[in-house]
Amino acid sequence: MVSSDSVSAHYGKDGDLVDAIAGRLTEAGLEISTLSTSDLASVDEFHIRGRQATLELAERMRLDPASRVLDIGSGLGGPARTLAEAYGCHVTGVDLTPAFCEAAEAMSQWVGLTDRVTFRQGDATSLPFAAESFDAAMTIHVAMNIPAKERMYAEAHRVLKPGAVFAVYDVLQGEGGDVLYPVPWARDPSISHLATPEGMRSLLSGAGFELLDVRDTTDESQRWFEAKLANLSQSGPPPISFQIFLGEDYPEMARNQVRNLGDRRIRTVGYICEAR
């Protein structure tokens, strides 16, 4: 199996993800016809510190209702919907995993945002868009599955207009030792490709981006995962959580993330860049 198939199999192996999410929401007493984006945030903002982290990134992206934004590795579409709702902009999401693209479309219909978000299946290392198509782009917790990072960032640069903001928020290799698996992006090292903080700076500048701001949020990430783990230990997995697609080993992944963050085996870092 080639690596990109292994990645989409890791995330999207269960069929009928849309039905599974709809079923959990209904069991939790929510009506699909009256859902708001915040009802979905615990499953569709699939990264550390969830919606809050997306909004913090978005504040630096110079967005307005006329902005055409690209979300690279858009997952279930939560970050794209958050930006579209908060800023009135149009967001295009591209993701490798077909089941996630399908769920992203369905969930956007549920909350009435289909006029402002669109999703298509595609690979970050070969984006299906013309040069200079977007006013801004973001990528959240995606590059850790991608070995060809030079190619990924070169593609982001190609599709952005000169002067556009590129916001990156990723999990990086820390100084505290090897990652303990399973983690939410990989059950073993075969699909995990973490850059180091130093490596990220040269990757982004090598691709033609000027770094305007770098923010290490590892301490906040550790507290966020400790709180998630405490909830999991006390009450078990909530009905609407990443467990719907990550499966039964999600609690073990959460335990490992607390150790990975605490030992600084991983770090979370956000970058605000401008396309030169």
Ligand X SMILES: C[S@@+](CC[C@H](N)C(=O)[O-])C[C@H]1O[C@@H](n2cnc3c(N)ncnc32)[C@H](O)[C@@H]1O
Which residues lie near ligand X (CB under 6 A)? 4, 7-8, 11, 45-47, 73-75, 78-79, 95-97, 100, 123-125, 140-142, 145-146, 185
- CB nearest ligand X: which residue? 75
The CA distance from 172 to 196, in Å, is 5
Tokens of 125: 């290392």
CB of residue 49 vs ligand X: minimum separation in angstroms? 10
- Residue 174 β-bridge partners: none
Residue 80 to residue 44: CA distance in whole angstroms: 10
Nearest to 204 by CA among 258, 243, 155, 133: 155
| Amino acid at position 248, single letter | E
Nearer to ligand X, 97 or 268 (CB): 97
Min. distance of Cβ 17 from ligand X in angstroms? Answer: 11
Which three-class secondary structure state does DSSP give residue 247? coil
**Cβ proximity of 154 and 126 under 8 Å:** no
Distance CA 108, CA 96 (A): 18
Closer CB to ligand X, 123 or 135, in the complex:
123
Provide, rounded to whole angstroms, the least separation between the CB of residue 184 and ligand X.
6
Nearer to ligand X, 126 or 276 (CB): 126
The minimum distance between CB 267 and ligand X, in angstroms, equals: 16
Work out how close the CB of 6 gets to ligand X at its nearest, in angstroms, rounded to a whole number.
10
